[in-house]
């Protein structure tokens, strides 16, 4: 730790050590510079970026399709899938497609989505409330943060 010095003096010192004077932060007054090999500095920056990418987890959206007149066994299987996706940290999109005359019985589809949301309430939050988009009823769940 050498402290604050003139640029010309820092350049002379770096040259005498056969190293480079690298500007670290130009937003400060005076700007921060280090006497270090440029390749080593670039490598350190690369390692920092790689570590931050490794820490950040990409969340993907998984879609689970339901039907308005679904049996309890099928519903249970879909529920297990939803739980599995949420526990892995993925978002889950619930979609329910009305086919043919099923559109006249919208309440069955709505109750199916509400039932799925209620069953997953202990480990999921509703990100997008269920809404009709054409002949499709869609909603989205996100996993709750583990404390």
Instruction: Answer whether CATH 3.30.110.10 is correct for domain 61-143.
Output: yes
Sheet (strand 124-133) strand order: 61-66, 91-97, 136-143, 124-133
CA distances (Å), 10 to each of 2, 7, 36, 139, in order?
10, 5, 11, 60
Q: For residue 76, what pLDDT is reported?
A: 94
Q: For residue 147, what pLDDT is reported?
A: 42
H/E stretch holding 38 reads helix 38-55
CA distance 57 to 53: 8
Tell me the domain boundaries of the chain.
Answer: 7-55, 61-143
User: Across the 147 residues of the chain, what is the mean pLDDT of every consecutive 10-residue run?
Assistant: 81 89 85 88 91 78 92 94 90 92 88 92 91 92 78
Q: How crowded is the C-beta side of 115, counted as CA atoms within 13 Å?
A: 18
pTM for the whole thing?
0.58
| DSSP 8-state assignment for residue 99 | -
DSSP string, 53-94: HHHSPPP-EEEEEE-TT--HHHHHHHHHHHHHHHHTT-EEEE
For residue 100 the two structure tokens come to 């043919």
Q: For residue 84, what pLDDT is reported?
A: 92
Nearest to 93, CA basis, from 135, 63, 129: 63
């Amino acid at each position: 730790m050498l402290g604050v010095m003139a640029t010309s003096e820092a350049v002379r010192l770096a040259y005498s050590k056969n190293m480079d004077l690298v500007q670290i932060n130009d937003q400060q007054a005076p700007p921060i510079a280090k006497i270090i090999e440029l390749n080593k500095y670039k490598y350190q920056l690369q390692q920092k970026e790689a570590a931050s990418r490794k820490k950040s987890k990409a969340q993907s959206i998984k879609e689970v399709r339901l039907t308005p007149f679904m049996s309890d066994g099928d519903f249970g299987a879909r529920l297990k899938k939803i739980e599995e996706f949420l526990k892995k940290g993925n978002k889950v999109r619930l979609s329910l497609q009305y086919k043919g005359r099923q559109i006249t019985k919208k309440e069955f589809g709505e109750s199916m989505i509400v039932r799925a949301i209620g069953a997953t309430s202990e480990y999921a939050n509703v990100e997008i409330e269920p809404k009709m988009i054409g002949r499709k009823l869609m909603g989205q769940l996100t996993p709750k943060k583990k404390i």
